[in-house]
Amino acid sequence: MFKNYTINQTTLPLDMEQFIPETDVAFAVNSLVEAIPPHLFDELEHQLGRPAYHPKMMLKILLYAYTQRVFSGRKIEFLLDDSYRMRWLANHEQVSYRTINRFRNHETTAQLLAEAFVLFRRQLITNQVIDNEAIFIDGTKIEADANKFSFVWRKAATRYERALDEKSEAFYQTLYQEEILPCLKEEGQSDGLSSDQLEEVAHHLEAELHETNTQLAQEQSPKKQSQLKRKRRVYKKYLRQVQADYLPRKQKYERYRRLFQERNSFSKTDTDATFMRMKDDYMRNGQLKPGYNLQIATENQYILAYDLFPNPTDTKTLAPFLDSFLEQHKELPEYIVADAGYGSEQNYMYIHDVLHKTPLITYSTYYKESKKKNKENPFNVENWRYLQEQDEYICPAKRPVPFKGYSRRKDKGGFVRDFKVYECEDCRACPVRSQCTRSKGTQKRQLLVNNSWRYFKAECKKKLLEEKTGSIYRRRKVDVEPVFGHLKAHLAFHRFHLRGKQGATIDVGLALMALNLRKLGKYMERNVRIKTKTSPILTKHIKIGLISIFEKGLLSHSLFLLLLRFNEYLHRLFLSTPFQPCSLLG
């Protein structure tokens, strides 16, 4: 006998929600989007034209598509027709891929995603999934949706612009001396002409050319006509040189300077992307590719916040990322946890003095300084004896290194460091000079001591050796780093699918929220299974125990003793209450 199978018979339409398991990720997507305040959708509402699709529906289908590793607009459109979960979320609407891509690139979508992360974190704290004690920060570089050969380098552009300025300056001086042009340069301007000044040069040449043509039309003398024609050819040559060469190139280089900002490169196809060395270097030649530096903050492997940065190093991203986290969530946990890539005096000072939080961040030489070889090295300055009253160090040759003065240095980012300078009085004829210093000749050994940096390093060591803060820091490698593995391996998100920083931010935001929803869906499924159904491992234990007891019972025990024994086994395996022999009989 077979079950009824008739596909040609008309049936009543049923609610598709009943076919979806209650622990499905589609319900997590629906609940999250429905919790977003309605006023955030008002910016997308218009009174003109045909009624638009509701932004809630669009955001739901995008989030669910990303949970299923579908990132293409056309494939999302196909999924709307193929998946009954997507049909339920879209209320049976058929949305074009163009509409999907327009909504995905809209600036309001970024605001909706930011609010979704705030609501998601609030929900995790309310349900005690996270304790809001610390955030774990890390970064990874992801390739942009740009041509890898579309690079523009700052040094090359600066060199080409300098050569153009020299040519335009010589060209201007020629026209000025021939009295074709008036004085156009400002007083004190020594470099080449700007694009505005070149446009003014072109206007003057056009006016001179127009006047020459007028004179040529009125002139009757062949000799003067010949002179005017030669003059017109010169003007045409100069005008063509400005309009076809100098002006467009100058405008291009000025646009490049605006796009560079503080970067050293950008891509022509995605001007917000910067060329970086990626971790996936298959050719092993250090190839540079356009990309973004993705920074995330997690707890219990849930992504709480994210941001994109153009600089490839993590050190300079920590302060602006914490500012964006604070602006978005209005609060920061007590502990900021990150790896040694974020350890710098500037970051320690910002977290400790400005944010008034506790940094649990190592520095680049933390593990090296903890080794026995480094601690016993007599030429390591940290091991030199310091005389506080005389304010001097004693070198390995037992010579004094007294205080000489103060020094202040500024790095490329503008951060100022203060140093105390100590200098040995005489390093000549020192038996250990070659081991103590690399300087040659008569140069004396100098020490640059940064007491602020030493203080933060000592605080870092102290916190990491404490039991509580040390255990929090040890959670970092199993909290934030697996998220990138899930993003790239499980979600197959290896590069961005939208261009520009806004598009890339929305794209990766959808992917990160999809990871959160997938993890939350598994968490809900596990809780439901514990409440309603014995897990497979426990079921296996029950079967093994039942078989062993049943075999023994058939051979040597009565059925009553068999049941009592099985009841005792269940209590011993699952329950914390003491065993009561008569509980089975009521």
> DSSP labels for 456-519?
HHHHHHHHHHSHHHHHHHHTHHHHTHHHHHIIIIIS---B-SS-HHHHHHHHHHHHHHHHHHHH
Q: Which two tokens stand for residue 561?
A: 């003793």
Strands (E), 128-236: 134-143, 151-153
pTM for the whole thing? 0.82
Q: Which two tokens stand for residue 539?
A: 């079921």
- The Cβ of residue 479 has, within 10 Å, a number of other Cβ atoms equal to 20
Provide the pLDDT for residue 355: 94
Provide the pLDDT for residue 3: 62
pLDDT in tens, 281-317: 777 777 899 999 999 999 999 999 999 999 999 999 9
pLDDT in tens, 508-526: 999 999 999 999 888 877 7
Tell me which residue of 479, 515, 403 sits closest to 448, measured CA to CA: 403
Report residues of the chain scoring pLDDT below 50: 555-556, 575-586
Is there a contact between 127 and 281 (Cβ–Cβ < 8 Å)?
A: no
Backbone angles phi, psi at 150, to 5 degrees: -95, 40
If you search the block for the tokens 């467009």, which residue do you land on? 248
Which of helix, strand or coil describes residue 291?
strand
The DSSP symbol for 51 reads: P
- The Cβ of residue 545 has, within 10 Å, a number of other Cβ atoms equal to 16
Provide the pLDDT for residue 161: 94
